[in-house]
Amino acid sequence: MAHLSLNPALVEWRGHHGLPQFDQVKDEDFASGFEAALSAHDAEIDAIADNAEAPTFDNTVVALELAGDALSRISALFWGKAGAHTNDTIQALEREIAPKMSRHYSKIGMNAALFARIDRLWETRAELDLTVEQERVLERHWKGFVRAGAKLPKDEQERLAKINERLASLGASFGQNVLGEEKAWSLTLSDEADLDGLPPFLLDAMQSAARERGEEGGSMVTLSRSIIEPFLTFSTRRELREQAFRAWAARGANGGERDNLEIVRETLELRAEKAKLLGYPTYAAYKLDNTMAKTAENVDALLRGVWDKARRKALEEEASLAGLIGEEGGNHPVMPWDWRHYAEKLRERMFDFSEAELKPYLQLEKIIEACFDVAKRLFGITATEVKGLPVYHPDVRVFEIRDEEGALKALFLGDYFARSSKRSGAWMSAFQSQHKLPLADGTVGELPIIYNVCNFAKPAEGKPALLSLDDARTLFHEFGHALHGMLSNVTYPSVSGTGVARDFVELPSQLYEHWLTVPEILETYAVHYQTGEPMPKALLDKVLAARTFNAGFATVEFTSSAIVDMAFHTRDGVKDPMAVQKEVLDGLGMPQSIVMRHATPHFAHVFSGEGYSAGYYSYMWSEVLDADAFDAFEETGNAFDPVMARKLKNNIYSVGGSIDPEDTYKAFRGKLPDPAAMLKKKGLGMVKELSGSDA
C-alpha cells in the first residue's frame, strides 16, 4: 500500500502479533486514508469485473473476499474509535464518511459486469463442485448483490443508492445525537441529604464521573447505565430519582439540534420505500428474508405469546411494590422511577440480600478471570495479558489467546470503563477477522483481533471496580461474542465469526452468560474485594434462588421494545413515530410503571444504522436457543461436560456462517428448541401455544 498517499500505520499493522499501531495513527490521518483506500478498492473491483477470463469461484468470489483490505483496516480503526473514544474531529468525519461509504458500496452492488459474473456462478453452482462453505459464500455474495439492487432498472438503482446514502447519514446523526444528549446532562449532588441511601461503591463511581467531567469534590449522576440504574435503585430521594429518570428516558426527544424524532420519521419512510423497490411488501419482510425467523408473523407469535405471560407477571410484581410503598406511608402509584428502588427492597425482604451486599463480591478483575476460566474449561484456551502496548485509550487492555498446545489463536482487547467519549451500551467488534485464504504477501490466513467495549463505572484511584450482577452478565455476554470471533475456524472472511443470521448471532453470547451463575464459578471468583473470602454459601444460595426475581419487569421492558420495532417496520412509513409507539403500547396494555427499555428517540439498536432494525426481537429468538442449549449441559449433570463442550465449539462457536444456522444447531443439539425452556428459565412458566413455533 506504499503507493497510496496515506499513513502506512493505517493499513500495515506491525504491532504485537499484527496489532494496529494505535499510537502512530492521528485523527487527521483518516480522511486522506479513506480517499486512498476507496480509490484502491475501486481499482480492485474493476479488475475483477473486467477480467477477460470466464468467471470462476477463485477469480470472482475469492477475489471479492480479499478485495478492499486497506479499506477494511481503515474502517475498523475509524469506526472503533467513533464508538469507543470519539471527539469533534472523528464525529465530523463520521458524518461525511457514512454517506460516502454508502455510495461506494452501492456502486459496487450495481456494477452490472461484476454481477453478471456472480450471477453466472450462481446459476451454474450445481456444476461447480463447491463445498458447503463455498456455496454459502457464493449465496451470500449473490443475495448481497440482489439486495443491493443489481436486478433493478437503472433509475430505480439510482434511487436506491440515494436512499442508502441518506440512511447512512441519518444513522450517524442519530447515534451522535444520543451520545450528545448523554454528555450534556448531569446532576451534581453536593448536599449530604441528596446522597441518602447511596452505597459506597456508587458514591465512588459518581465522584469519579465528576472528576472525569472536571468537577472536583462533587458526586455526579450521569446517564451512563452503570450510574443511573444504581442511583434509581438506591436513592431514597424520590424527586431526584424522578428528575434523573426523566432525563434518561427523554434522550433524543428534547427538541433542538439533537432531537431524533424527525430522523426516525425519515428513516422509517426511506426504509419502507427501499423495501418496495426491492420487491418486499414491508421493510420487516426485507430484513427477515435471511433470518431463522423468516417472517414477521413468526416473530409476532413469539413476542406476543411471551408478552401475555410477562405482563401478568409484571402486574403481580407491581402489586407487591405498591404494598411496600403503602407500608412506608406513601400514597402514590408505582412509577418508572420507583420500580428499581422498591424492587430492591422487595428482593431484600424475599431473599434476604441486597445488591449492595452482593457487589463487594463481584470485582471486575475476578469476573474477567472467571470469563477466561470458563473458556479454558470449555474450549481449552488460555488468556495472558500483555502490558505496555500502545492502544486507542489508556484503559484498554490486550490479551493473547492461546490453545492447549500454546499456539496463538487470537488477540483480545478489553475496554471496560464508561467515559464521555464513548457511546453507551456494550458491544463486541473485530479489528481483524479470522480466515484461511492466501494473501498477496505470501502468508496464509489472518489472526482474529477481537475487542469488547463496556461501560462500567470507573472506580476512584486505587479502588477496585465492583460490578452489579447485571454488569457481570454483560461482561460474560460480550465475551461470548468475542469467543464467537476468536474460535472461528473458516476459510472465507465473509462467513467468519459473527458473520451469521442476525437472530442467531446472539446465541453464543447469551449462552455464555449461563456459566456466570454455575455454582463452582461463583464459589471460585465471587470473593470479597477486601478480605478475599468467597461469597458465603448462604448468600450464594440466595443469589441463585433469586435468578428469576423481577422477570416480569425485565421481559416487559424488552418485549415492548421489540414489538414497537416490528410495528414500525411492518408499516408503509410512519408519519408520527411517537404516536405509533403510544398506539402500540396502549394496545398491549403497557403498565404505567414500566417504560420500553429503549424508547424510540434513543433506540440506537434500531436507528443508529440498520443492524438490529426489524431485528431487536433476535435477542429473544436467540434466548430460546440458548436456554435449550444450556439444558444440554444440565442434562449431563456437568456444566463443563467435555463431549457437549466439544460439540458446542465444533458446531456453534467455530463455524461462523459457513453452515445454515438450523443445521449447525441441530448438529449440536440433535433438534430445534422449544420456547418452553426459555420461559421456564425466566420464571414465566410454560407457554403451550408456542411449542410448535419456528424458533
Confirm if 386 and 490 have CB atoms less than 8 A apart: no
Rounded CA-CA distance 626/681 in Å is 10
Compute CA distances 359 → 219, 468, 543, whole Å: 20, 6, 11
Confirm if 491 and 426 have CB atoms less than 8 A apart: no
Nearest to 70 by CA among 99, 112, 41, 49: 41
At 688, list the grid cell: 403451550
Rounded CA-CA distance 463/205 in Å is 10
Confirm if 402 and 447 have CB atoms less than 8 A apart: no
At 322, list the grid cell: 405498591
According to DSSP, the residues that pair with 414 across neighbouring strands are: 397, 452
Rounded CA-CA distance 355/476 in Å is 19
Q: What is the DSSP string of 323-390?
A: HHHHHTT--S---HHHHHHHHHHHHHHHHS--HHHHGGG-BHHHHHHHHHHHHHHHH--EEEEE-S--
Catalytic residue among 478, 513, 610, 623: 478
Kindly give, in sequence order, each residue whose CB lies less than 8 Å from that of residue 293, ignoring residues fewer than 6 positions away. 299, 302, 503, 617, 618, 621, 694, 695
Rounded CA-CA distance 320/314 in Å is 10
At 643, list the grid cell: 463431549
Rounded CA-CA distance 226/207 in Å is 13
Kindly give, in sequence order, each residue whose CB lies less than 8 Å from that of residue 154, ignoring residues fewer than 6 positions away. none
Nearest to 365 by CA among 464, 483, 512, 469: 464
Per-residue DSSP letter, 451: E
Angle at the Cα of 357 from the Cα atoms of 468 and 679, rounded to 5 degrees: 50
Angle at the Cα of 373 from the Cα atoms of 371 and 379, rounded to 5 degrees: 100
478 classed as catalytic:
yes
According to DSSP, the residues that pair with 385 across neighbouring strands are: 399
Rounded CA-CA distance 449/437 in Å is 16
Compute CA distances 130 → 61, 127, 445, whole Å: 12, 8, 20
Nearest to 274 by CA among 292, 287, 288: 287
Rounded CA-CA distance 596/563 in Å is 10
Rounded CA-CA distance 625/678 in Å is 8
Rounded CA-CA distance 229/225 in Å is 6
Rounded CA-CA distance 111/108 in Å is 5
What are the start-end ranges of the H helices in 526-675?
A: 537-545, 551-569, 577-588, 604-607, 618-634, 642-648, 661-669
Which residue is associated with the grid cell 420487516? Answer: 284
Rounded CA-CA distance 503/266 in Å is 26
Nearest to 169 by CA among 82, 251, 100, 262: 100
Q: 61 φ, ψ to 5°?
A: -70, -50
Active site residue ranges: 478
